[in-house]
Amino acid sequence: MFSPDLLPATRSAPPAYPLVSEPADLSQIFVRQPIEKLQPGEAVFCEADPATDLVQVTEGCLRRYRILPDGRRAITGFAFPGDVLGLASMDQYSYTAEAVTPVKLRRVSRRRFHALVDDSAQLRPQLLLKLSQEMTAAQEQMILLGQKGAEERVASFLLTLARRRGDTVAPVEIEIPMSRLDMADYLGFTIETVCRTITKLKDAGLISLKDRRTIRLCNVTALQQQAGEADENSV
Amino acid sequence: MFSPDLLPATRSAPPAYPLVSEPADLSQIFVRQPIEKLQPGEAVFCEADPATDLVQVTEGCLRRYRILPDGRRAITGFAFPGDVLGLASMDQYSYTAEAVTPVKLRRVSRRRFHALVDDSAQLRPQLLLKLSQEMTAAQEQMILLGQKGAEERVASFLLTLARRRGDTVAPVEIEIPMSRLDMADYLGFTIETVCRTITKLKDAGLISLKDRRTIRLCNVTALQQQAGEADENSV
DNA sequence: CGTTGAATTGATACTGGTCAATTCTAGTGG
DNA sequence: CCACTAGAATTGACCAGTATCAATTCAACG
């Protein structure tokens, strides 16, 4: 969901051009569309629905998930402002997208989106970049789920959230929009394990809780080690 | 790796034109290139190398993996004939690709590949389809690793291999090209757990071993249930 | 045949899951 | 403003599944 090496490229998104006919940026495709609002728990679209639209998140946080045959819920990712949902969908959506917080978003038809992108030599590489970022994020998540233990997963998650929301580099205090259950279903754990792990990180002095949804990262370097991230400063 | 719902879209690609200059199919891009051969263990490219080329596998099996800071190896996928490596790479490769068996492949420069695709209204949707299939596969793997137990993971893996290799639907006897260690690093387990799980499936009569690398799927339906796949016939 | 690395099996330890309280917090109504 | 309530979060005790460590068996190859 977050590929540190690739993020800088996103930042390079130019400020809104006064374009008429040809968008210079993927976001431009959405910018004229009306804002839709969702309350927490409302779905944008559901798994297996025909994939008619793409949406760009303007405000808030969504979860993307699938329900397994036995009822378990697997959250495959969260979406934040600027993210586009449905990019990699072809025929049907492969997951349900649902508001975690109150959400504002803009919608365009998949047909129109792809027509615009397909016509623009500017936009085509931007789409590929986005897809490649999604792939990188998915690979990171595969590694997290396949190889890492509880403290590594939770530390990674918090750092990822911090990078995602912290447009500033230093805030070190992050607002967690989702519930412990959401975190658990994303990290491949139970609520209880997520709780206990947060407690451990707190007791170790790596984080502190302002309230249950606000976490301060006290020692980012130690957290990165805990997360199993190579410390690039130490080279 | 396999997205049944998405495949139909590919079908809509028109039949091969007798074109001279413009390939009608992604594979055409590779078809004129010389064959390269690799011995088991040889790498096609390494993580963090500049992503100069794409390769299409002609014969054999490769693994894609990353080495974590602490030395663990996470295999993110295997590649078989027809697969293209490097599709989602932008600047650098995000994984190492290494031959499992003797491999034959064809290589084109990323620049040339993207120039051809970008120029062809035929090819562009094919690239998107491939990427979307990769995303779907990555999501499946996230779910497997995050939610499923040992027997589910191994059963899923065997079924996936069977679908992949079995151009025929019924063979039920699959040659496993990779070692137990490869399977373990892919499934997020240790060698021992993979072994014990295979033994369990064997004792339960779901599979039998011809030799250590040849597994017969005795009861595909039961395996699918074991894998946590919804039985679509039972509806 | 003996050697060697892969695969399997066994015994035990550890991590995370399950089940059951308990505490916290945001609402709600008195 | 203060209980009261309901759901979320946390903690604890115990259990299950997987890892770890240690043999042992197997199979290809010289």
Residues (pLDDT < 50) of chain A are 2-13, 17, 235
Query: CA nearest A148 in B: which residue?
Result: B188
Those nucleotides of strand D lying less than 7 Å from any protein Cβ are 8-13, 17-22, 27-28
Which region holds residue B169: left if phi is over 0, alpha if psi is between -120 and 50, else beta?
alpha
Query: Which chain B positions have a beta carbon within 8 Å of A146's beta carbon?
Result: 74, 145, 186-188
Got the DSSP string for A29-56?
HHHTSPEEEE-TT-EEE-TTSB--EEEE
B72-81 per-position pLDDT tens digit: 999 999 999 9
Residue nearest to nucleotide C16 (CA to C1'): A193
- What is the reported pLDDT for B232? 62
How many helices and strands, by DSSP H and E, does chain B display? 8, 11
Which is it for the CA torsion A37, A54, A109, A95, positive or negative? negative
Strand C at less than 7 A from CB of B194:
yes
Find the chain A residues whose C-beta atoms sit closer than 8 A to any C-beta of B. Answer: 5-6, 9, 48, 66, 68-70, 72, 74, 76, 88-92, 94-95, 118, 121, 124, 127-129, 131-132, 134-136, 138-139, 141-143, 145-147, 186-188, 228-230
Closest C-alpha among B200, B204, B198, B235 to residue B219: B204
Strand C at less than 7 A from CB of B191:
yes
The reply to whether residue B76 touches residue A118, judged by beta carbons under 8 angstroms, is no
- What is the reported pLDDT for B164? 87
Asked if residues B75 and B65 have their Cβ atoms less than 8 Å apart, the reply is: yes
The reply to whether residue B145 touches residue A228, judged by beta carbons under 8 angstroms, is no
Closest C-alpha among B45, B178, B39 to residue B102: B39
Query: Which chain B positions have a beta carbon within 8 Å of A138's beta carbon?
Result: 135, 138-139, 142
- What is the reported pLDDT for B230? 74
Residues (pLDDT < 50) of chain B are 1-15, 17, 19, 235
The pTM score is 0.90
- What is the reported pLDDT for B166? 59
The reply to whether residue B135 touches residue A134, judged by beta carbons under 8 angstroms, is yes
Asked if residues B25 and B127 have their Cβ atoms less than 8 Å apart, the reply is: no
Closest C-alpha among A205, A74, A223 to residue A152: A223
Query: Which chain A positions have a beta carbon within 8 Å of B141's beta carbon?
Result: 142
Q: Which two tokens stand for residue A36?
A: 């839709």
Interface test with A, best of B90, B132, B154 (most A CBs within 10 A): B90
Angle at which helix A123-147 crosses helix A150-165, to 10 degrees, equals 150
Determine the distance between B102 (CA) and C25 (C1') in angstroms: 62
Distance (Å) from the alpha carbon of A87 to chain B's nearest alpha carbon:
8
